[in-house]
Amino acid sequence: MKVVVVGNGMVSYKFCEKLLTRRLPDLSITVFGEEQYPAYDRVHLSELFNGKSTDDLCLAPVSWYKDNRIDLHLGDPVQYITPSVKLLQTFKGYVKHYDVLVLATGSSAFVPKINGMEKDGVFLYRTIEDLHLIKSYASRAQKGTVIGGGLLGLEAAKALLDLGISETHIIEFAPRLMPRQLDETGSAMLQSTLSSLGLTIHTQKNTAHILGGESVTGLAFTDGSTLDTDILIVSAGIRPRGELAADCGLETGMNGGIVVNEHMQTSDPFIYAIGECALYNEMTYGLIAPGYEMAEVAAGEIQHLHTGATTSSKLFTGFDMSTKLKLVGTDVASFGDPFAEGDNIRNIVLKDTNKGVYKRINVSADGKYLLGGILVGDASHYNILLQTSRNRILLPPHPEDIILPAREAKKEEGGGLAALPGDALICSCESVTKAAICQSVTEQGCETVDAIKKCTKAGTGCGGCLPMVKDLMVYTMKQQGKYIRNILCEHFDYSRQELFDLIKLHELKTYDTVLDRLGKGDGCELCKPAISSILSSLWNEMILQKGNDTAQDSNDRFLANIQRGGTYSVVPRIPGGEITPEKLIAIGNIAQKYSLYTKITGGQRIDMFGAHVSDLPLIWSELIAAGFESGHAYGKALRTVKSCVGSTWCRFGLHDSVSFAIRVEERYRGLRAPHKIKSAVSGCIRECAEAQSKDFGIIATEKGWNLYVCGNGGSKPQHALLLAADLDSETCLRYIDRFLMFYIRTADPLTRTATWLNKMEGGINYLRNVVVNDSLGMAAQWEQDMQQLVNAYQCEWKTAIETPEIRKRFAHFVNAPEEKDPTVTFETLRGQKKAGNWK
């Protein structure tokens, strides 16, 4: 039997996979795809702007099709079908006979009839190709606009922000955002949160035409107003791609969708349609879960046809449209019947404009069942609410409890998971039940989310269920008496946070006493740096004293970064990047004297490379005499606070960003943390100091400073999120004190703030609550702790050169301290030296 599939999108791939697992003999599968890429994860398309590559999104490589004997044709759309003789023809002229045809042509972005759509700089948001085009054009754009304030439009707007277009507008025809998912109050709450993130939202705007010559320059609206823009994304909805079906006489609906019955059969019994192109019961489904369900139904039907079985197979009976949106800095979800209202229905609403939270649930008149609801600003209960409504689980006597912010003491063990029946569908994309997930833990020994994903496929579709999968895993493991903790290494049975609290409680000051009191054995290169960092974060004593020197990571032990060949680099602190000519000259003289390679670093300071270990104290004596101090480039500590020139010179500057950067750098210099911490201060929203890529970044506003936290450069760049706006300098520092102390206390070893936040339940909203609203009641304590650390600061290089026992360690040969390591070699490059190559 010859099965031919038109389209190679997500649902087509899932269909092939499901058909293969049925292992039908004498079945050939051919797939025609219009796009150049084999099926990829469209749901996570936007992650192309967050460091993912097209390979990362690929669902299965071309070799997978080959290995499974699927004949795959990419870049070759099917052009017409002749159902009477079961033939089709492709763009490249290929003619193919089928026994069964499956249409999985998806949908395309809906393009409203507006003049000027053909201009350069106008894009759709649907395919990898679209995103590549947007990315290359966006580098030229300063202002961006998205037409469409629905699910996809908001995602596209976030993408523009991610691409660095900070002035981004959203145009919505309806009076509010996400009209299909949210009620009026929910939309209003979302709108105010998005505005505070820097998006400008225009509702009830009807675009008349697109302005510009060759390229877009703006939009004109029917009310006569206009808006300038350099780039435009049109995301005004989707249209099922039923044109191929319509051309060959299959029945299609109003919106172009291909009419199917509960077997996924079209009006021709040998042709099926699945995914976004299918119209079932006058509904098309723009989500992945129902598409996968249709793939399952169609695969079952074909098995039936093939084996001639007479029993009935699984039918498609519709799907609910519950969704959770992955937005910037805020959560949005709707589930079940979000709008249910009337005499038989009770609505419970929680609205907190202070935190930007709106929750609404619709409950049956007898108060027993949850019918649906809306969550804005805090969707942490989404999965459990969805399960409660889907499985018709009896509500507690006070249904409002389920949306109230969890009060620690009251939190029910397992967060209501116990009440879910075994057949509750946790992953609707892959149809994985609660029982299957629990079994993978108890029977197959899966103890990480990744293992469960591999074992059951749960969470491999849209990924929305992953938090719940993790909760289930933890819950099941706890029931088995297993307790999961991130212990440090074989010498300590504690997590970093537990050790931090214990060391503080017992006032331990050296690595050895910590090991004696709290650990076992003789330590190793994992626990030594971690404990040393905790000791330093707690007491801020000179790290090389009290026998703690050999418990330091090797760079900290020599207060410098080891380089190829075994020499070291020297980085004096240059707060805010500001330096006097005298100091520049001093650095030049010293570098010349000790023959060091010099380079301006990416952190706005000067690095001198190639110092022999025995020269380090001499170099530092001279640097200190010239007014420098350690830059801690070697430590998991505060690195640099970069600054832009700011209001003292810049014509746009709102405040003196250099002065504030210096103040911040001098406050936190020497502060050790689970990983390095970086900061920056910009004088206005043009953001020349790149503050939004830092662990904490500060940007001047008309009214004060905006404080952003948890950004990261490195291999997985992540923008910082707004923690608080328009702060005066003192408040800004107080919030940073609290933020840093919270991070230092709770992060795992070697975890940057971005990763720490990503793992934090409740995310930025929770963090904001802790830092700004003092929800843990720790703020005063943390500010006091920080002040003690600030007071205890000393330049560790100064102490090192003044303390003979420490200074004597800076020698290569213990029995010939004056001699340098003769195996060190250098080469010359552009008139300076460089390290000899690895051998």
Partner 1 sequence: MVHENETLVKTPQWITACRAEDVAENGGVCVKLGDQQIAIFYFTRRNEWYATQNECPHKKQMALSRGMIGTRNNVPKVACPFHKKTFSLLTGECLNGDECNIKTYPVKVEDGIVYIGVDDPPEEQFS
Residues at the interface with ligand SF4 (CB under 6 A):
644-646, 650, 652-653, 657, 682-684, 686-688
Using alpha carbons only, give the angle 326, 329, 333 rounded to the nearest 5 degrees: 40
Q: What are the backbone dihedrals phi and psi of residue 164, each rounded to the nearest 5 degrees, phi first?
A: 90, 10
Choose the contact partner of 656 out of ligand SF4, partner 1, ligand SRM, none; CB within 5 to 8 A by kind.
none
With CB under 6 A as the contact rule, the residue among 528, 639, 734, 738 that binds ligand SRM is 639
Binding of residue 11 to ligand FAD (CB under 6 A): yes
- Specify the residue for token string 């170099």: 619
- For the record, the structure tokens of 210 come out as 């697109």
Contacts of the segment 263-267: beta carbons below 8 A, 24+ positions apart: 263/297, 263/298, 263/301, 263/313, 263/315, 263/316, 264/294, 264/297, 264/298, 264/301, 264/316, 265/301, 266/103
Strands 425-427 and 832-835 come out as unpaired
Q: Is 518 helix (H, G, I), strand (E, B) or coil?
A: helix
With CB under 6 A as the contact rule, the residue among 33, 300, 529, 603 that binds ligand SRM is 603
Distances (CA, A) of 473 to 386, 424, 439, 480, 748: 19, 15, 10, 11, 21
Q: What are the backbone dihedrals phi and psi of residue 233, each rounded to the nearest 5 degrees, phi first?
A: -110, 130
Binding of residue 652 to partner 1 (CB under 8 A): no
Near ligand FAD in 189-248, by CB under 6 A: 241, 244
With CB under 8 A as the contact rule, the residue among 359, 496, 557, 745 that binds partner 1 is 557
Binding of residue 276 to ligand FAD (CB under 6 A): yes
- Specify the residue for token string 């966006």: 138
Cβ closer to partner 1: 524 or 792? Answer: 524
How far from the centroid of its chain's Cα atoms is residue 389's Cα? 29
Distances (CA, A) of 372 to 97, 158, 359, 433: 47, 27, 11, 21
Binding of residue 615 to ligand SRM (CB under 6 A): no
Binding of residue 673 to ligand SRM (CB under 6 A): no
Which of 660, 632, 622, 625 lies closest to 644 in space, CA to CA? 660
Alpha helices, H only, 109-211: 128-138, 151-162, 184-196
Supply the minimum distance, in Å, between the C-beta of residue 754 and ligand SRM: 7
Near partner 1 in 498-537, by CB under 8 A: 512, 515, 521-525, 527-529
Choose the contact partner of 153 out of ligand SRM, ligand SF4, ligand FAD, none; CB within 5 to 8 A by kind.
none
Cβ closer to partner 1: 602 or 836? Answer: 836
**Contact present, 379 and 356 (Cβ < 8 Å):** no
Binding of residue 284 to ligand FAD (CB under 6 A): no
Instruction: Give kind and range of the element (H or E) at residue 360.
Output: strand 357-364
Cβ closer to ligand SRM: 249 or 714? Answer: 714
**Integer Cα distance of 378 and 693 in angstroms:** 25
Q: What are the backbone dihedrals phi and psi of residue 540, each rounded to the nearest 5 degrees, phi first?
A: 55, 40
Cβ closer to ligand SRM: 164 or 713? Answer: 713
Binding of residue 543 to partner 1 (CB under 8 A): no
Beta-carbon neighbour count of residue 643 at 10 Å? 29
Cβ closer to partner 1: 726 or 819? Answer: 819
Supply the minimum distance, in Å, between the C-beta of residue 455 and ligand SRM: 30
- For the record, the structure tokens of 799 come out as 């102490």
Binding of residue 549 to partner 1 (CB under 8 A): yes
Number of residues that bind ligand FAD (CB under 6 A): 35
Cβ closer to ligand SF4: 630 or 657? Answer: 657
Choose the contact partner of 456 out of ligand FAD, partner 1, ligand SRM, none; CB within 5 to 8 A by kind.
none
Q: Which residues, other chains included, contact 202 with Cβ-Cβ below 8 Å and sequence gap of 6+?
A: 169, 170, 171, 172, 227
Cβ closer to partner 1: 581 or 822? Answer: 822
With CB under 6 A as the contact rule, the residue among 148, 242, 257, 291 that binds ligand FAD is 291
Distances (CA, A) of 475 to 416, 456, 481, 485, 512: 10, 17, 10, 13, 37
Cβ closer to ligand FAD: 77 or 396? Answer: 77
Beta-carbon neighbour count of residue 748 at 10 Å? 16
Rounded to 10°, the helix 779-791/729-746 angle is: 90
Binding of residue 713 to ligand SRM (CB under 6 A): yes
Per-residue contact string for residues 462-501; x = within reach of ligand FAD by CB under 6 A? x---------------------------------------
Cβ closer to ligand FAD: 141 or 462? Answer: 462
**Contact present, 784 and 600 (Cβ < 8 Å):** no
Q: Which residues, other chains included, contact 522 with Cβ-Cβ below 8 Å and sequence gap of 6+?
A: 491, 515
With CB under 6 A as the contact rule, the residue among 7, 148, 603, 749 that binds ligand FAD is 7
Supply the minimum distance, in Å, between the C-beta of residue 555 and ligand SRM: 7
Cβ closer to ligand SRM: 170 or 641? Answer: 641
Choose the contact partner of 33 out of ligand SRM, ligand SF4, ligand FAD, none; CB within 5 to 8 A by kind.
ligand FAD
Site residues (CB under 6 A) for ligand SRM? 561, 563, 569, 571, 599, 601-603, 605, 607, 633, 639-640, 678, 712-715, 752
Site residues (CB under 6 A) for ligand FAD? 6-12, 32-35, 42-43, 45-46, 77-78, 104-107, 125-126, 152, 155, 241, 244, 275-276, 286-289, 291, 462
Site residues (CB under 8 A) for partner 1? 490-491, 512, 515, 521-525, 527-529, 547, 549-551, 553-555, 557-558, 562, 564-566, 808-809, 812-816, 819, 821-824, 838-839
